[in-house]
Structures are given as structure tokens and as C-alpha cells.
Structure 1
Amino acid sequence: MSPPTSNWTLETIHAALPAIEQELARTAAERDKAGGHAAEQKELLRQHGLLLLVVPKEYGGIGASWSETLSIVRRIARVDSAMAHLLAFQTLQLSGVISYGSDQQRKLYLGETVALNHWWGNSANPADPRLIATEQDGGLVLQGIKGFCSGTLGSHRLLTTAIHQPSGKLLIAVLPTAREGISIHDDWDPIGQRQTDSTSVSYEQVRLEWSEVLHRPDGVSTPFLTMRGVVAQLILVNLYLGMAEGAFEQARDYTLNQGRPWFASGVQRAADDPYVIHRYAEMHLKLRVARALTDEAGAEVDQAWRSGRELTAEQRGRAALAVAEAKILAHRAALSVGEDVFDVCGARATKAELGLDRFWRNARTHTLHDPIDYKLRDVGRYALEHLLPEPTLYS
């Protein structure tokens, strides 16, 4: 039987993007204040085919590269970083199926994703060891909890990781979100990224079949199987850069249309104040350099991903290094630009109705995903001794 086929293409998605961005931007600041589940906005992305971006064409999907996919994520992050986060983590869960799944599992789960055009939830936080998988009656039973489970609310499937007992090793599996014993908790209340549904998920004696396990605890690791960690980091790079670009664009619009020059500047427009011009130059350069390294990293990851099972450890390491370099600059740009925009816009720009603060809050929240110092360590090791980053779930 032929796999279901998407009616969407990369071209149709790009054609729809301006309208999608405009609609998200219309309510982004208000929704950011309210928090909660953005069901209407998630449906907007779903209706335009964005959930199928990275599903390979052989399974009926759009088959976009990581660079193509994350350029779209970055654009959405400029206006609504929470929705960009959810879309990006949709692609991350699918990357787990693509990289870890058997031929049969890929056909099943990717085909179902195309047929139902459904959301995936992330219950695979590798830094949270509280979910235990115990063998029982020819299968497994899951007991415990996972935190920071972005996108679980409203999802059809979950990608999850658990510690296998008695081996103590990690397994990766797919579950239906509605399976008996799975509970999604409404406990996400951060200062930023308030609509990512990054709640905790508990598992109470949840049955898991071995056929649902993508990566067994005794599974052999290869360079390609470790690419999900590199992809996850590239996703963060594009989210951070999109936040920085969004802050810059909103500030620029404010300066040109509502800004007031300081009385001592001797100019009639804020845009003619030499100190304002200087600060915009500084922000522009931060963005330009971060953008260049992000695009380079995307190209490296595309090449590594295309290599598939033939990927070498060195190719994988070079992709991880490029992503680490880009992440450092995107991380810094998101935080510094998110703060600097207030210096060029002035006191009136702190009005809550403008929501200009959301860019910094969202960046501050999400840049805590994993410590940037360890990316600096990886880059420093390469700069000093030409040592490529070692594969981990975060690099």
C-alpha cells in the first residue's frame, strides 16, 4: 500500500507564511501575558502543513531539509517564539523516529503523522531520570514523571525516554498520548515561553510494548544515531536568533514611527540621534554574525543528516562544532538585543501593551535549556587542541 501523501509543499508553505506570521503577531503579546494553551494558533500551523516539514517524501511528507525547516521556525520566532518552539519540537520528535526507528516503525509512525496531520509531544528530556521502565509480561511498564515536556498538551503521540531496569541504560520509545496511566499536568508557569505547554507528564503503570521502543537499552550507538542531539541544538540556535531578530524589528519600527529624540541631541527624529544610530549598528552586527554562523551550521547539519547511516564520527563532530559556535552567538544576541532595544526606544517603550519585554523574557527562559559554558568549552577545546565535541544528548 502506498503511503499517504501530503497536499502541501515547501512552496505552498512559504506562500502562506506572511499571513501566518501576521495572524500570530496580531495576538502574540496578549497571549504571552495570558499563558495557557494556544489551541487556535497550533491549529493554524497544522492547517497549513507545517507539522509535516521534515517527514521524508518517501513517507508522504514535505521532505524539507533542516536548513529549510528551521528558517521557517526562525521566521515564526520573530513574532511568536512559543509557537515557533512548538513547531520546532514537533520536528525534533520526528527526527527521533527518523534516526532511531526501524523501517517498519518509520513507515508506521511517519505514515500516521501524514495521514492524521497530528502533533507530537516531547516527553524525552534526557536530563530527567525519574521515569523508569521495568520489564514485565513480555513488555515494559513505565512508572515516574518527566519534566519540561513541551507540546504534550493536544498531542497525539509522545516521544519519551526512560531508564531501563535493571540495566540502568536509556531507552527511547513512542506512545499514544491518550494511553491509560499517562497524565499531563497544568504546571507550566515561567516568566517566558509561556505558551509552549512545557508541563510535567506522569506515568502510572503505563504499558509499553517492545515494538514501540525505537532504541533499546542494549542498542548500538552510531554517529547518525547521535545526530538528534545536534539537531536539537540547531533548533535552539534558530529559536534564539529569531527572538533577537524579532526584538530588533519591533524596536526599529518603534524608533522610526514613535520614537522621540532626547532634548540634547539637537535632532528632530530619534532615528537621527547619533547614539541611537550607534546602538542600532551594534545590534545589527551582533545579528549579522549570529545569522552567518547559524546558516553555516545549518549547512553542516544538512550534509551530516543526508549521510544517514554512512555518517562518520568526524563529520558528526564538525556539525556539532558548527552548531556550538552558532549557539554561543545566537544565545548572546537574543539576550543582549532583547535588553538593548529599551535603550534605543526609551521609557515609553516599557508600556505593557507593547509587549516589547517578551523577547528578553522568552530568550532568558529558553537560553537556560542547557549551560552555554559547555558550548564555550567545546569550542575552546577545538580552538586549542582541534578536539571535536564528544557526542552527548546535548551536543
Structure 2
Amino acid sequence: MASLPLPLPLAEAPDDVRPVLQGESPLHVAHGLAERFAQTAAERDARGGTPKAERDALRASGLLALSIPTVHGGLGANWRTTLDVVRVLACADSSLAHVFGFHHLMLATVRLFGSPEQWHALFEQTSRHRWFWGNALNPLDERTLAHPRGGWLEFSGQKSFCSGALDSEMLIVSARHAETRAFLVAAIPTQRSGISIAQDWNNFGQRQTDSGSLTFEQVRVEHHELLSDPGPFSSPFAGLRPLIAQLILTNIYLGIGEAAFDDARHYTLSEARPWPASNVARTGEDPYILSQYGEFWLGLEAARALADKAAVGLDHAWSRGTRLTATERGALALAIASAKIAAAQTGLDICTRMFDVAGARATHGELRLDRHWRNLRTHTLHDPLAYKIREIGEWALNRTYPTPSFYS
């Protein structure tokens, strides 16, 4: 890939948003929120359910308007800054980073699939009302059908893995047209009649993402709510949507890996005792433990470099707009896939081996340090890494770019 420009500086926030941030940079605000969220992360992991107070803190922070252009009342941040905020939040609480990152993915979906009239209005309302967006798109779950009803469509069926749908104001939803089988995407209010969101998310990881199921019962969707101009995969630029999703996941994985590293280091230095055969006075002098930390650090540094390079590439592609070529999109897909694989493999390695260096006391149940592995293992099953590696192999050997889909 050709060298890419540095990311653009963060645009100045408009007057109606600046007081919310109180003159602080988005990353400074994110670090403050992360410090707060980290204090209750273990307790909330045990409890599960909706992190209502924490989601409201994100609303109040102004960061839900982070990626929205200033002309529409947002903060005008580029993707590099937005993804850095996702990573900071993930280091404290990967569930909150998940719903926050997917909120910005839903906004990107409106921008990439919708008309200027649609995203202008929805961006402005999101900024003004501090809306939280949830996900009910899930292209692999085709149980929802859209039935034509004269001048509107009736959505009926179910969707699974609806992250952040609970406690949201707006949803991105999808359905198959009952007659043409066309894939339809729409932006609709969460509280619309006929939408039921079940509180049935009880997985062992990402326990506060509310990624459970949603039911549509004769939900009325107007034609002007469909994101069909230009619509999904209508151009290489519209095809950035899955790449943004993949890079959000990458930064969540990286944040989890960094959190596991930090927790392991704390317990190695403060709680772990040297093994008698090591003949050292303190655990931090054990050569085997030092070697493992060296491996951890190298893995994180490589994943960080790849993730940051991919974020710069995304900003470059975003700035190209409809001029983006299929080749440019393909090169970005490979850069993001490389970063995602590195972040996932390194993170899983650290989350598994952290107890080898932190010692037996780190397994105390109330600490719930196993949540790092549980969160990462749950999230890395989003789409199989083996297929990502195969995509890179196709490029490395045959110079074939990944075929655009909702997962590549």
C-alpha cells in the first residue's frame, strides 16, 4: 500500500457542544470516563444487564457526536480519533466500548448507505438530542421480512445479536423483501410500535452489550426511512461500512489486551511471590517472567502499529468519498484484516497467559480477571479468524483482494 497522509487534526467543536466537553479534548474526556467505568467493571460484569448509568454518562459527555461533522452539530473527529476513544474505553470496559463503537458504526451506515438529506437530518438530531444508536442489522439473520403495504413496508420477524438496542433512541435495521428478496436497510426509532427488545443476553463475555434478540411485529417502515440511495455496496465508498466495523472490533480487542497486560503487571509486581527455584528476591527479576512480558509487549506493539496504520488508511479512504477505487478499498481491507488478526491473537495470548505471570492470587473470584479472556473470546467469534487469514493468503500468493461483504 502506498504511504498515506497523517490523520487530520480534530475539528473544533461547535458552541452548543463545547460546554459539554468543558474545553477538554475527546481523548481526555474518554480517559476520565474510562477511569470511572473501570472502578465498577468487575461488579457489572458479574451482574450483566444494561449499564444505564454508564450509557447516560456517555450521552452527557458529548462523545456520541464525536464522528459527526461540525456543520451538523458534532465534534468533527476523524476515524483515528474516534477509534482511539473506542480503545481507551475498551481498556476499562469492553462492553461500553462495544456499544459506543457500534453507535458510530450506525452513524457511518447512515452516511454511507443513505442520501444527503437523510444523513444531514439524522446527524443534526443525534447531535442535538444526544441520541444513542443501536444495531438490529445482522445480515446473517434473515428471519425478518419486509412486506409491501401500499405506500410503506411492514417489517415482521426476529433479529439476533442486536448490540446496544436496549436503551437506544434509534436503530439500524434490516430485512429481506418478501417478494424480491432484496436486502433492505432502514433507520427507525427504537420506540416504534411493534418493536420488542428482549433482555435475553446472558453470554459469558461482553455481558453488558445487550446483544440479545429483537422482534418486529408488523412494524411500519416508510420508504423515506430506507437507506437505499445509494444503498449497501453500491460503490467502493459504500463498501467501507464493514471495514469500519472490523476496525472498531480491532480496537476493542486491542483495548482488552492492554487491560489484561496492565492487570497482570499490577499483580506480578504487587502480589506474586517468586518461585523458590528461581533464586531471585522478587518476581519482577524472574527471567522466565521477564521473557513472557517481553513477548506480551512485542505483540501489543505490533498490534498497535497495525491498528494505527489501518486507522490512518481509513481516514484517507473516507476523505476520498465516491472517488474511492475498488483497489484502494481492497488495500484497506487487507490492512484492517492484518490488524484485526494481530490484535485478536495477541490479546487471546495475553488473556490466557496473564495468570502465569500474575500468580495464584490473581485468580480470586471477586477480581474477575478472567473477564478479559471471556470478553475477547466472545467478541473474536464475530467472524472466524481463519477466514481473515485466508483472505490475506489470497493476497500474498495470488494478489487477490477480499470480496466486499458485510464481514470483509
Q: Same fold (TM over 0.5)?
A: yes
Query: Match for 2:393 among 366, 380, 393?
Result: 380
What SS does structure 2 have at the residue aligned with 1:148? coil
Deviation at 1:220, TM superposition (A): 7.3
Aligned 1:154-303 pairs, distance under 5 A = 154-215=167-228, 221-303=234-316
In 2, the alpha carbon distance for the partners of 1:119 and 1:279 equals 41
**Equivalent residue number for residue 3 of structure 2:** none
TM-score of the pair, normalised by structure 2: 0.93
CA spacing shift, 1:158–1:169, aligned 2, 3 Å: same
> 1:107 Cα deviation (Å)?
1.7
- Report matched runs for 1:36-75 at 5 Å: 36-75=49-88
One-letter amino acid matched to 1:295: D
**1:144 CA drift (Å):** 0.2
TM-aligned CA distance change 1:296 to 1:219, over 3 Å: closer
1:393, distance to aligned residue in structure 2 (A): 0.8
Q: Is 1:337 paired with 2:350? A: yes
Q: Distance in 2 between matches of 1:316 and 1:187?
A: 37
Secondary structure of the corresponding residue to residue 215 of structure 1: coil
Distance change >3 Å, CA 217–CA 314, structure 1 → 2: closer
Q: TM-score, normalised by structure 1?
A: 0.96
- Distance in 1 (CA, whole Å) between partners of 2:331 and 2:231 is 27
1:365 to 359, 375, 378: 378
SS in 1 for 2:239: helix
1:94-113 alignment, distance < 5 Å: 94-113=107-126
- The alignment partner of 1:267 has SS state of coil
Contact 2:176/2:182 (<8 A) preserved? yes
1:99: how far off?
1.0
CA deviations over 1:69-120 (Å, ceiling 9, x no partner): 0111101111110111110010000001111121110121111101100101
Deviations along 1:342-388, one digit per CA (max 9) or x if unpaired, are 11012211101112111000000000001111111110000001111
- Say whether the 8 Å CA contact 1:169–1:217 is kept in structure 2: no
CA contact 2:113–2:230 (8 Å) conserved in 1 = no
**Consecutive unaligned residues in structure 2, runs of 5 or more:** 1-13
> What does residue 365 of structure 2 align with?
352
**CA distance in structure 2 between the partners assigned to 1:146 and 1:82 by the alignment:** 20
The SS at the match of 1:224 is coil
Listed as ranges, the matches of 1:301-320 within 5 Å are 301-320=314-333
CA contact (8 A) 2:160 2:213 kept: yes
Following the alignment from structure 1 to structure 2, what is the Cα–Cα distance between the partners of residues 219 and 311?
A: 15
* In structure 1, C-alpha distance between the alignment counterparts of 2:25 and 2:248, rounded to whole Å: 22
Distance of 1:113 and 1:61 partners within structure 2: 9
Other-structure match for 1:6: 17
Aligned AA for 1:149? Answer: C
1:145 aligns with 2:145: no
Cα distance in 1, alignment partners of residues 232 and 261 from structure 2: 46
Secondary structure of the equivalent of 2:247?
Answer: helix
Q: CA deviation at 1:126?
A: 1.1
Structure 1 stretches lacking a partner, 5+ long: none
The Cα shift of 1:257 comes to 1.4
SS at structure 2 position matched to 1:144: strand
Q: Distance in 1 between matches of 2:116 and 2:102?
A: 22
Residue by residue over 1:52-83, the C-alpha shift from the partner in whole angstroms, topping out at 9 and shown as x without a partner, is: 11111221111111111011110111111011
Distance in 1 (CA, whole Å) between partners of 2:231 and 2:388 is 29
| Runs (4+) off by over 6 Å | 216-220
Shift of 1:318: 0.7
Distance change >3 Å, CA 217–CA 171, structure 1 → 2: farther
**Structure 1 pair 34–163 and aligned structure 2 pair: CA distance change class (3 A):** same
Distance in 1 between residues matched to 2:345 and 2:173, nearest whole Å: 30
Cα 1:323–1:286 shift into 2, 3 Å: same
CA distance in 1 between counterparts of 2:121 and 2:17 reads: 15
Counterpart residue type for residue 135 of structure 1: P
Q: Contact (CA 8 Å) 2:260, 2:372: kept in 1 or not?
A: yes
Q: In the alignment, is the contact (CA less than 8 A) between 2:152 and 2:220 conserved in 1?
A: yes
- Map of 1:85 onto structure 2: 98
Post-superposition offset of 1:17: 2.8
- Aligned equivalents of 2:367 and 2:288: distance in 1? 23
2:38 maps to what in 1? 25
| Range 120-129 or range 11-20, more displaced | 11-20
Provide the rounded CA distance (Å) in 1 between the counterparts of 2:30 and 2:375: 22
